[in-house]
Amino acid sequence: MSATSTLLAGKVALVTGATRGLGKAMALALSEAGATVIVSSRKADQCEAVAAEISAATGNAAHPLALHVGDWDAIEPAVDQIVRDHGSIDVVVNNAGITRDKMLFNMEDDDFDAVIRVHLRGHFLLTRNAAAHWRGESKKSDSPVYGRLINTSSEAGLFGPPGQANYGAAKAAITALTLSASRVLSRIGCTANAIAPRGRTGMTEGVFEDWDESKGPDPLSPDRVADLVSYLASPAAAGVSGQLFVVYGGMVALVDAPVVEKRFDAEGGVWDRREFADAVSGHWSGRPEGKSFSASEIMTL
């Protein structure tokens, strides 16, 4: 297969949270590209129904896998089963997620823990086990292997929404996890990237206004996000790793790393506390109100 090909014939792709919304669109797009797709979510009946639907639509094999991504004991057997049944696992799309939105001062421990378990822990477990599998295969062959990791972050992890401290924290951590994975996986020829999608799904009900189809294609259709995922999973994206993309409609934005706004250096090498306070406070004089580490301007995309 050409290194510039966007086809996935012969590849095996696992998509979590794949029975609706973004995950279902991603699974369908990967199947359309030729991959054997493992459709995963917590509910077995939904997995079976969507796998059958995708298989009928594309003519390519799709298989159900009921799985709780935050269950430590379930992940390793699941990865082993995929490899045993299908010969490999070449693409992992971590997409499963939940929300438990509350203002910080009203958030219960369980609200925080549930979101961290599904998003961050779920991403970590499959990221780790897929990476371990690819490393093992690379050691066996003493050569690079094909591996594509695509993690679902969010703009919430860049600007810190007041009603989603749990979700924002998990998504920021997922971006950092992906960067770490990309450094490790690059040694064996694999890639790891994160996406921050905007899409009209069950999780975003009440966030976006309904779309008038007479205006043309819905810019928040999950299909547009799936197009990017299919690309990142393909041979054509072999040189793309350690990146974060915001995607919706016909727009894909590559997000740059944070920049240093100001450096404060002590003349003698060590700050006097009073001098430090004066230097830092002086910088805030005339600085735009509300400016912070938050990448709030990204919402203008």
The runs of H, that is alpha helices, within 161-272 are: 165-185, 222-232
Which residues are tagged catalytic? 154, 167, 171
**Which DSSP string do the residues of 59-72 spell out, in sequence order?**
SS-EEEEE--TT-H
Which tokens is 172 given?
A: 């920021």
Which tokens is 81 given?
A: 């089963």
For helices 222-232 and 21-32, the axis angle rounded to 10 degrees is 50
Q: Residue 193 phi/psi, 5° resolution? A: -135, 160
Q: How far apart are CA 37 and CA 262, in angstroms?
A: 48
Helix, strand, coil abundance in the chain, percent, nearest 5: 50, 15, 40
Q: How far apart are CA 48 and CA 40, in angstroms?
A: 9
Name residue 295's beta-bridge partners: none
Q: What is the sign of the dihedral through the CA atoms of 195, 201, 205 and 211? A: positive
SS3 state at 37: strand
Q: How far apart are CA 31 and CA 83, in angstroms?
A: 18
